[in-house]
Amino acid sequence: MKVALFVHCFFSDHFYGTETYTLQLAKNLQRLGHEVTVVTAVFQGEPARESLISRYTHDGVPVIVIDKNKAPHRNIAETYWQEEMRAPLRQILRELACDVVHVTHLINHTAVLLEEAKALRIPVVATLTDFFGFCYNNKLEAADGALCAGPSPSRSNCIACHLKAAAAPGTFAHRIAAHPALLNMTAVGIRAGYTTGLAPEATRLMAADIVNRPDVLFRAYQHYDAMIAPTAFLRDAYVRNGFDPTRLHLSHFGVDIDRAPKQPRSDGPLVIGFIGQLAAHKGVDLLLKAAAALPPETLRIKIHGPENQDPPYMAQLRALAGANTAFLGTFPSERIAAVLATFDVLAIPSTWYENSPLVLLNALATHTPVLVSDVQGLTEFLGDGKNGWSFRRGDLADLTAKLRQLAADAAATRATASHTSYDRDIAAMTHDVAAVYARVTSSRFAG
């Protein structure tokens, strides 16, 4: 079977969860005898390529790249539906003549990809790695930092998220964004101005793009023959926002990693590690604030992540860090087991829902217990006290209390490793995906 895997960005410049999932799936589909091509993009603003469409190979996987510098989005609508992408996507789909299109993220390709695949009668599958299909910021996090259920009927909550994200530091808009009640009032006013036509044209166009986004994507997602969700929570969130439950399939991610028993450490301060993006929604600042409230000799904090991702946030983290904190940068993916072996506990203090991050599964598979925010995309894999612990999302006092509890009896915390595990591997995950391919291809062309 010929498979085209569409992802928003890819190795070697981009190497987080969705990109890793896509690469691992591609390689395992190849092992099953399928012919696989990854189709990805260069974000506008990144170093440009010589042509709109170029090619390379990564780890034995053929890759086609669309340079978004040469087809940039010019407004909010074009971040989710960009007519200019139609011609290159059609060209690529015709060239590949694939039996199935599998989308692991639509950003950069936009939903015109689904329409083009439908026009060519190619079955289309998605792996849902976030809430892009209905949430403006993809994270189901409201502008005031609360967890969100999805777009309100008026979409004013989505407008508020846009206003917060677009507000430049030091501006009047940024001062408004700092006050949730005022921000929400402004969003409601913009929505009213859009409805009545009284708002300035630029404001009306902005509001229209945001108000229309959930409906445009909902219609486009009807082209998916199947959607794979890695957590029950993610699946249920799509169902609650109107998506067809019969097209949604639960399939937990798998990981391939050295599952040898963790070598015990009998003394010394408890080592708490973090691996991931150094961005505000990952909650690393919360972890450092909590650690600062404990005697420094009881803890060591190891932070692995790209220090150039968000310079202002990185400066904040450095200001919060004590002498017991080390910023250790990034590392090649093949070293993750070795890095996790240096942790007693992996912390995932995210402020958004998360969706079975691969670092969580890798930690459990290497017998590294976890300390996570109590959001369902994380706690779905957690037996509290058995393979890890949770704390109330964003609650500094609760996180501090949990860290104090773990550090007070470091030996008992380390002993949790003996009953921490995760057995599902990538081969099992890939067989699930291949079974979905078989189902959608047979049903599409039956008769």
Asked whether the predicted pLDDT for residue 265 surpasses 90, the reply is no
* Residue 447 pLDDT level (bands cut at 50, 70, 90): very low
The chain-wide mean pLDDT, for the chain, equals 94
**Topology (CATH level 3) of domain 2-136+214-254+426-445:** Rossmann fold (3.40.50)
**Topology (CATH level 3) of domain 270-419:** Rossmann fold (3.40.50)
- What's the average model confidence in pLDDT over 218-230? 97
Asked whether the predicted pLDDT for residue 160 surpasses 60, the reply is yes
> What digits encode the pLDDT tens for the residues 98-141?
999 999 999 999 999 999 999 999 999 999 999 999 999 998 98
Asked whether the predicted pLDDT for residue 47 surpasses 80, the reply is yes
Ramachandran region, residue 32 (left: φ > 0; alpha: ψ -120 to 50; beta: rest): alpha
**What tokens does 223 get?**
């082209």
Alpha-carbon distance of 4 to 39, in angstroms, equals 7
Residues in the chain: 447
Establish whether domains 2-136+214-254+426-445 and 270-419 are of one fold: yes
The residues, ordered by sequence, that sit 6+ positions from 132 with a Cβ below 8 Å of its Cβ are 105, 106, 107, 138, 217
Residue extents of the structural domains in the chain: 2-136+214-254+426-445, 156-212, 270-419
Helix (H, G, I), strand (E, B) or coil at 205: helix
Per-residue confidence (pLDDT) for residue 16, from 0 to 100: 80
> What digits encode the pLDDT tens for the residues 186-196?
999 999 999 99
> What digits encode the pLDDT tens for the residues 336-369?
999 999 999 999 999 888 888 899 999 999 999 9
Which residues of 242-313 form beta strands (DSSP E)?
248-250, 270-275, 299-304
**What tokens does 32 get?**
């099953």
What is the 8-class DSSP label of residue 46? Answer: B
